[in-house]
Amino acid sequence: MEVSLVTTFVTVVFMHFIALISPGPDFIILVKSAIKNEKEKAIGVALGISIANALYIGLCLVGVGTILAKSFIIMMVLKILGGLFLIYLGVRALSARKSDYPHFSEPIHTTNSEAQFYKEFVVGFMSGVLNPKNILFYLSLFTLVLTPDISLAFNIILGVWMTLLVFIWDVGVIYCLSGSKVRSQFIKLTYYFDKITGALLGGLGVTIIKAALQKID
């Protein structure tokens, strides 16, 4: 690999990782799921977020991302839907009762593990897709660093790497929070933690919608 390509690869990886570790709606949802669910189920959120990122990476690579980002209506709808989705998650968390939270100190054996995994996957995917910052970030990243003379194969390698990095990072967070020592500290606080994250998600949703509607005015 040429020196220029190595430099480009390292630059993209570094910028992407910095953005990845920055807290946002996806991270809040990830932490919420990791603390509330078994890690096998919480991985569904990580997979959903990763696939949503892969979708936007692919759209940016083929040029569709530019069209979407430049469309005022599409971005406005995306922001409003994203805000409504966060509000929905927030309301669900805030309206849950203590009886809805199982005691995590004992092994949990459920017959609907696949259904719960799929549910977490949908939450993660919707969070990633309805977050307009994702497509704007990848679009700006590719526009800033990648030039027309860089091959499609190299771009695909970058896209695959970034998708894998998102998944690996998210799974790493899940496993860290799912450890017995960490989980034992959150067992009795899960209900209250869910309320806090619910309020944060709802607040973010309201802020996003408010900002979007102000642009219409």
**pLDDT per position as a tens digit, 155-189:** 888 889 999 999 999 999 998 887 767 666 666 66
Domain boundary assignment for the chain: 26-32+40-216
Secondary structure class of 191 (helix, strand, coil):
helix
Instruction: Name the average pLDDT for the chain.
Output: 80
Residues 103, 109: Cα–Cα separation, whole Å: 12
Question: What are the helix and strand counts (H, E) for the chain?
Answer: 10, 0
**pLDDT per position as a tens digit, 105-144:** 444 445 467 888 999 999 999 999 988 788 888 888 777 6
- Tokens, residue 104: 């995590």
Question: Contact 12/157 with Cβ under 8 angstroms?
Answer: no
